[in-house]
Structure 1
Amino acid sequence: MEVSSNLPSLPEENSQESKDLSSFPAVPDRPATQSSLQKYSPLDWKGYFDQEEDVTIAGSNDVFHVYTAGSQGPVVFCLHGGGYSGLSFALAASKIKEKARVVAMDLRGHGKSSTDNDVDLSIETLCDDVLAVLKTMYGDSPPAIVLVGHSMGGSIAVHAAAKKVIQSLAGLIVVDVVEGTAMASLIHMQKILSSRMQYFHTIEKAIEWSVKGGSLRNVESARLSVPSTLSYNDLKKCYTYRTPLEETERYWKGWYEGLSEMFLSCPVPKLLLLAGTDRLDRSLTIGQMQGKFQMVVVRHTGHAIQEDVPDEFASLVLNFISRNRIGPHGVEVFVNHRSNENSAGSSTRQVLVTGIYV
């Protein structure tokens, strides 16, 4: 789960990033220069996705906002982490749409989606939401679908796949979430959530903090995704987080408990993208050695792999589609394979997670 638009991930005790995270809020605000305002100004999604639409679920007041891109090929259906939004995948979508379709939804309580109970972030409810959106969008004849989930969204993707009700499900990609590491981080979550910067006088300040004290490392992606994770507080006359993650603690354990075995049991091709080999727990280590899924360690990135290195993320997704011959009707998508895929034993740089497992 991740805080805010970026759940700061578990900083290590003596790391420089940990120092930055704790000290940043204490630094007095300096007057923003025109250049800094321009550097951190919001970007419009229209240069990356093709359309946005609201998906209304029959028999309810639930309306889910989705961003779409591309017109042919399988559907890469993207689920963001806790505190993020569908725009977390904007930069990657602009590349993926050249070979496949992309759909990125704002989950319940996030972005522009609206439901009767925005704080019900139980894994059961979130999973049902995703299945309902897929059913509403594609009816009884869905195209080939590859579920992609980051952090909390990765858990939702696994649970949705494990239900075995998506008849055209052709692949599962989980981004930087592992049961063992996530469960161990739960005791630190409230502390991390409370230590982040809570209020911002401008959206530009929120974007700036997200890359200087938060979990994002790509300024362009932050300019796209961070505004959608904020809401304006009329009482305090400033911006704060759209999603009150600190109020959802009762659901955290359910997101990750049993996740590794459930992931291994999903009967479709699987890819696990990690920011560091230290993430693997025992079940996944054994499963990876047995060849039950493909694993790639993405170097020089933080927790939000799809935002930090969107070009590499898009290539990995398209390579996965190509290798497994996933298409609208089983038609292969041809993509040049890159040699950046590493197994657990590969030489990789240990990367500090800069966002919580939301």
Structure 2
Amino acid sequence: MEQNLSNLNSVPEHQYEDDDSTQSAFASRPHRPPAQISSQKYAPLDWSGYFDQEDDVHIPGSDDVFHIYKAGTDGPVVFCLHGGGYSGLSFALSASKIKEKARIVALDFRGHGKSTTEKDLDLSIETLCNDVVAVIKAMYGDSPPAIVIIGHSMGGSVAVHIAAKKLLPSLAGLVVVDVVEGTAMASLIHMQKILSNRMQHFSTVEKAIEWSVRGGSLRNIESARVSIPSTLIYDDSRKCYTHRARLEETEQYWRGWYEGLSENFLSSPVPKLLLLAGTDRLDRTLTIGQMQGKFQMVVVRHTGHAIQEDAPDEFADLILNFISRNRIGPHGIEIPVGIRRPPTSTEA
């Protein structure tokens, strides 16, 4: 039912405290009322300005439906996995540039964005990996194109596990964005406090966008205007917006995301790129691996944790350069014309 937001300006976001009566963010989502335009500076931007289309991928044999955003028509598939609490639209600004030379797909994980599953709170590493494999299988069948998988934060751990376990036969490259085992494991003891201290309720979508930028979680206003709305859900009982992903209820899975991440990353049998916001994030295992030349590493300065949002043009350039450097084509490794074996008379 269409809701009236005319009285929301009088509702301060901070007056609410979490209690048992709070509606789960994973419950069936009510119709969102139109947002008030409190500031054009923080007005939401539509995904269609960056991706070519959105789609729902139904997983056979289940009621799970995963939402994806797609762009581009040629080249390998750049398959993007967002971090916890984000959505596929975290890659929107970089998608508009990557699609010029490659196909790009950005997935909403279960419990995030517009994806709906039977167990939205099951964010175990095994479930998340199986979800990605199932989506790719549903999209491409038994003949998938060459795939470069990109994972940010939690999505980075999923990407690494998929690569290390060789779950995708057509995997041609792995890109991990600002997640390192040592740093991640050390931060887990603070995660609940961080989640509980963040703003929980917003009278308008614009207020949430403004909070994300002013609070420093995102440094690019344009990206925040695209991605933040997809991370929210409207709470009918409180007449306000709140976070779609209830990460505080998934603590049992956090350690599984990051344990053994460095060794799994180094053992992944594909070209690897690690993008970091600072060298202080590198742990001992990766430092040794980097010195041995086992992967390419780039530190992207002047960004926060969400490199792909804060510096989308530089991020896109790094991804395209990675694809070019490793000669990854639509169906795998491309052999330069100059070193191809001349065809025999029977092949000509």
- 1:180-202 CA-to-partner distances (Å, cap 9, x unmatched) read 00000000001000111110000
- 1:287-310 CA-to-partner distances (Å, cap 9, x unmatched) read 000000000000010000000000
Paired residue for 1:294? Answer: 296
Identify if the C-alpha distance between structure 1 residues 293 and 262 changes in structure 2 by more than 3 Å, giving closer, same or farther.
same
Contact 1:321 1:333 in 2 (8 A): no
Task: Give, in whole Å, the separation in 1 of the partners of 2:335 and 2:42.
Answer: 37
Q: What's the secondary structure of 2:250's corresponding residue?
A: helix
Paired residue for 1:176? Answer: 178
Q: What's the secondary structure of 1:232's corresponding residue?
A: strand
Contact 1:65 1:112 in 2 (8 A): yes
Paired residue for 1:339? Answer: none
Deviation at 1:330?
4.0
Task: Give, in whole Å, the separation in 1 of the partners of 2:184 and 2:37.
Answer: 39
Please list, as runs of the form range in 1=range in 2, the aligned pairs for 1:56-67 lying within 5 A after superposition: 56-67=58-69
Contact 1:25 1:196 in 2 (8 A): no
Q: What's the secondary structure of 1:173's corresponding residue?
A: strand
Match of 1:266 among 232, 253, 268: 268
Task: Give, in whole Å, the separation in 2 of the partners of 1:329 and 1:302.
Answer: 34
Deviation at 1:235?
1.0
Paired residue for 1:343? Answer: none
The one-letter code matched in structure 1 to 2:168 is: I
The one-letter code matched in structure 2 to 1:89 is: F
Match of 1:253 among 255, 263, 278: 255
The one-letter code matched in structure 2 to 1:46 is: S
Contact 1:270 1:294 in 2 (8 A): yes
Task: Give, in whole Å, the separation in 2 of the partners of 1:333 and 1:55.
Answer: 33
Task: Give, in whole Å, the separation in 2 of the partners of 1:332 and 1:193.
Answer: 45
Match of 1:55 among 41, 54, 57: 57
Paired residue for 1:149? Answer: 151
Does residue 95 of the first structure (1) align with residue 97 of the second (2)? yes
Q: Note the residue ranges of structure 1 that are not aligned, 5 or more in a row.
A: 1-23, 27-33, 335-358
Identify if the C-alpha distance between structure 1 residues 142 and 206 changes in structure 2 by more than 3 Å, giving closer, same or farther.
same
The one-letter code matched in structure 2 to 1:44 is: D
Task: Give, in whole Å, the separation in 2 of the partners of 1:120 and 1:149.
Answer: 19
Contact 2:145 2:332 in 1 (8 A): no
Identify if the C-alpha distance between structure 1 residues 268 and 232 changes in structure 2 by more than 3 Å, giving closer, same or farther.
same
- 1:249-279 CA-to-partner distances (Å, cap 9, x unmatched) read 0000000000000000000000000000000
Deviation at 1:329?
2.9
**Count of aligned positions:** 304
Paired residue for 1:82? Answer: 84
Paired residue for 1:129? Answer: 131
The one-letter code matched in structure 2 to 1:110 is: H
The one-letter code matched in structure 1 to 2:273 is: L
Contact 1:50 1:69 in 2 (8 A): yes
Paired residue for 2:119? Answer: 117
The one-letter code matched in structure 1 to 2:237 is: L
Paired residue for 2:307? Answer: 305
Contact 1:326 1:333 in 2 (8 A): no
Paired residue for 2:160? Answer: 158
Does residue 285 of the first structure (1) align with residue 256 of the second (2)? no
Please report the TM-score for the alignment, with normalisation by the length of structure 2.
Answer: 0.85
Match of 1:44 among 46, 58, 66: 46
Contact 2:64 2:118 in 1 (8 A): yes
Identify if the C-alpha distance between structure 1 residues 333 and 273 changes in structure 2 by more than 3 Å, giving closer, same or farther.
farther
Identify if the C-alpha distance between structure 1 residues 333 and 70 changes in structure 2 by more than 3 Å, giving closer, same or farther.
farther
Q: What's the secondary structure of 1:66's corresponding residue?
A: strand
Task: Give, in whole Å, the separation in 1 of the partners of 2:178 and 2:14.
Answer: 27
Match of 2:278 among 270, 273, 276: 276
Match of 2:230 among 228, 231, 242: 228
The one-letter code matched in structure 1 to 2:313 is: D
Q: What's the secondary structure of 1:292's corresponding residue?
A: coil
- 1:302-322 CA-to-partner distances (Å, cap 9, x unmatched) read 000000000000000000000
Q: What's the secondary structure of 1:111's corresponding residue?
A: coil
Contact 1:92 1:313 in 2 (8 A): yes
Q: Note the residue ranges of structure 2 that are not aligned, 5 or more in a row.
A: 1-12, 16-35, 337-348
Does residue 192 of the first structure (1) align with residue 194 of the second (2)? yes
Q: What's the secondary structure of 1:148's corresponding residue?
A: strand
Deviation at 1:165?
2.6
Contact 2:170 2:332 in 1 (8 A): no
Does residue 138 of the first structure (1) align with residue 140 of the second (2)? yes
Identify if the C-alpha distance between structure 1 residues 106 and 38 changes in structure 2 by more than 3 Å, giving closer, same or farther.
same
Deviation at 1:203?
0.2
Q: What's the secondary structure of 1:77's corresponding residue?
A: strand
% identity of equivalent residues:
80
Deviation at 1:25?
6.5
Deviation at 1:213?
1.1
Task: Give, in whole Å, the separation in 2 of the partners of 1:196 and 1:204.
Answer: 16
Does residue 69 of the first structure (1) align with residue 71 of the second (2)? yes
Deviation at 1:167?
1.2
Deviation at 1:36?
6.0
Q: What's the secondary structure of 1:67's corresponding residue?
A: strand
Higher deviation after alignment, 292-301 or 210-219 = 210-219
The one-letter code matched in structure 2 to 1:49 is: F
Task: Give, in whole Å, the separation in 2 of the partners of 1:242 and 1:35.
Answer: 21
Identify if the C-alpha distance between structure 1 residues 264 and 212 changes in structure 2 by more than 3 Å, giving closer, same or farther.
same
Please report the TM-score for the alignment, with normalisation by the length of structure 1.
Answer: 0.83
Contact 2:157 2:257 in 1 (8 A): yes
Contact 1:196 1:214 in 2 (8 A): no
